[in-house]
Amino acid sequence: MDHEIEPSHTRNMRLCWEHKSNSVKPIGSHWVLKIKHYADGSVERYKARLVAKGFSQRSGIDYFETFAPTAKLASIRVVLALAAALNLHLRSIDVSNAFLNGDIDADVYMEQPEGFVIGGHHIVCKLRKGLYGTRQGARAWQIKLQQILVEELQFRTIYSDGSFFVYRNGDDFVMLPFHVDDGTFGATSNELATDLIGRLAQHFKLRDLGPTTFLLGIAVSQDCVAGRVELSQRQYVLDILERFGFSSCSPVVTPMIPSLRLSKADALSTDAERAEMANLPYANAVGALLYLAMATRPDIAYGVSVLCRFIANPGLAHWRAVKHVFRYLRGTAEARLVYRHDAFDAQQLFSAFVDADHAGNPDNGRCTGGYALLIAGGAVSWSSRLQTITALSTTEAEYVAAVDAGKDVVWMRQLLGELGFTLSAPSVLCC
């Protein structure tokens, strides 16, 4: 806590102390404590963060605009796939107390932090910079980050992703997606990445994490000689298996039981079932699976999307389906996404696949469509969701799914075009 208060706030005058006046309505604050881990689950460091209770801020008085972009997971996977395809060097940085670099656009007063009260409770803190928890904190940080990268380091932003920056100078090429305060460099040379990190460090306090090995809970392994980049969430899988009591369950070979059709009719109907389900963490378990399905495991995307439909009123049949997914993960914890240089198609750049069932949802007769986009032999973007209309035939279901996939194909073509790649021919969508 001392480390958080002294260098981050007092020394740089990001907080100043003033007497509380009758017209001032300070917001609260609290401490968030967290243990940071390495990819193997070992403890990296203990972290404390001062957070404002921004939910009590008043629109038009304490804040105005709040929107702040952050890099999509699909954009980050594109960088990792292109690193394998083009033999780019991956480097990671972490900006310390990123939100404190942003310039706040309103007069915001905050109660003094617990354990660091100076002069009594009639003294309040006036925020001169952004702070975690404030409504405009994320936006202020993004504006400052974009200003430094574009004006000082000659990066440019792209239209396809508001927190994705590109640097090009002759043969020098760098891709830099920023997920809040975590930046990932994909550079043509390690020396170029080192130089840009050093220049960025002149404006922000940051940690150079070296070659990318752990990113947003994902273990990253790069072999430049073999031209491979592998993504794995093995430790996350082991953690959630232990958290929900499935660490010693027997594995199965499919994420869902074949031909299983869950419906709202499987919801709770008796008092005994309600009493049993009250002690089962259905929503927590599905939420944990959802991040896994979004990050590195497209193989469970369909099963998790089905389970999400019953969050409001799950039944025992739905819980058994959740347990089946965990049993599948028990046997596939080592599964990973692999991007390979020898699988990269320099002409098409990426491949796309789409499919749909017909009337697979017994509650309303709607179809489920899914697609996957691959670069360098590995999936970079995927989706599995219930269609919003009722298709009258398998042909119509396929067309609706193809439209959804086509929107992502258009986005991917635009992203790759902004990165400097040339797509002279139409992209092929395999149905």
9 — pLDDT class (breaks 50, 70, 90): low
Residues 113, 227, single domain; the answer is: yes
Q: Cβ neighbours of residue 41 under 8 Å, at least 6 residues apart?
A: 235, 238, 239
Q: How far apart are CA 416 and CA 409, in angstroms?
A: 11
Confidence (pLDDT) at 18: 62
Q: What is the pLDDT of residue 23?
A: 66
Rounded-to-integer distance, Cα 23 and Cα 43, Å: 46
Q: How far apart are CA 36 and CA 46, in angstroms?
A: 6
Residue 73 Cα distances to 169, 259, 327, angstroms: 26, 31, 26
Is 60 exceeded by the pLDDT of residue 345? Answer: yes
Domain membership flag for residue 338: no
Return the closest-CA partner of residue 104 out of 67, 143, 55: 143
Structure tokens at 220: 């990253």
Q: What is the pLDDT of residues 117-170, one digit of tens each?
A: 776 667 888 888 888 889 999 999 999 999 999 999 999 999 999 999 999 999
Last residue of a domain, one of 331, 357, 374: 331
Provide the residue range defining the domain that includes 70: 2-231
Q: Do residues 238 and 226 both lie within one domain?
A: no
The verdict on 196 and 141 lying in the same domain is yes
Residue 26 has φ and ψ, to the nearest 5°, of: -70, 145
| Contact residues for 337 (Cβ-Cβ < 8 A; gap 6+) | 77, 230, 231, 232, 296, 378, 379
**Is 57 contained in some domain?**
yes
Mean pLDDT lowest for which of 33-42, 224-233, 283-292, 393-402? 33-42
Confidence of residue 6 (pLDDT cuts 50, 70, 90): low
Structural domain count, the chain = 3
Residue 209 makes CB contacts below 8 A (sequence gap 6+) with 91, 92, 93, 94
Predicted confidence at residue 12, as pLDDT, reads: 42
**pTM for this one?**
0.90
Q: For residue 221, tell me if it sits in a domain.
A: yes
| Per-residue pLDDT band at 8 (split at 50, 70, 90) | very low
CA atoms of 47 and 207, how far apart (whole Å): 14
Which residue, of 216, 231, 246, is where some domain finishes?
231
Judgement on whether residues 192 and 320 belong to the same structural domain of the protein:
no
Instruction: Output b/e per residue, 330-339; b: 16+ Cβ within 10 A.
Output: bebbebbbbb
Residues 12 and 160 in one domain: yes
Task: Give me the count of residues in the chain.
Answer: 431
**Residue 37, domain member (yes or no):** yes
Task: Specify the CATH number for the domain of residue 356.
Answer: 3.30.420.10
Verify that 172 and 56 share a domain, yes or no: yes
Domain boundary among 168, 200, 231: 231
- Both 105 and 221 in one domain: the answer is yes
Q: Which residue has the higher pLDDT, 271 or 77?
A: 77
Residue 54 lies in a domain: yes
Is there a domain that residue 339 lies in?
no
pLDDT in tens, 219-256: 999 999 999 999 999 999 999 999 999 999 999 999 99
Residues 212 and 352 in one domain: no
In a domain, 337, yes or no: no
- Are 227 and 286 found together in one domain? no
**Number of C-beta neighbours around residue 393 at 10 A:** 11
In a domain, 105, yes or no: yes
Least confident of 53-67, 79-93, 191-205, 336-350: 53-67
Residues 86 and 66 occupy one common structural domain: yes
The answer to whether residues 134 and 238 belong to one domain is no
Instruction: Please check whether residues 253 and 169 belong to one and the same domain.
Output: no
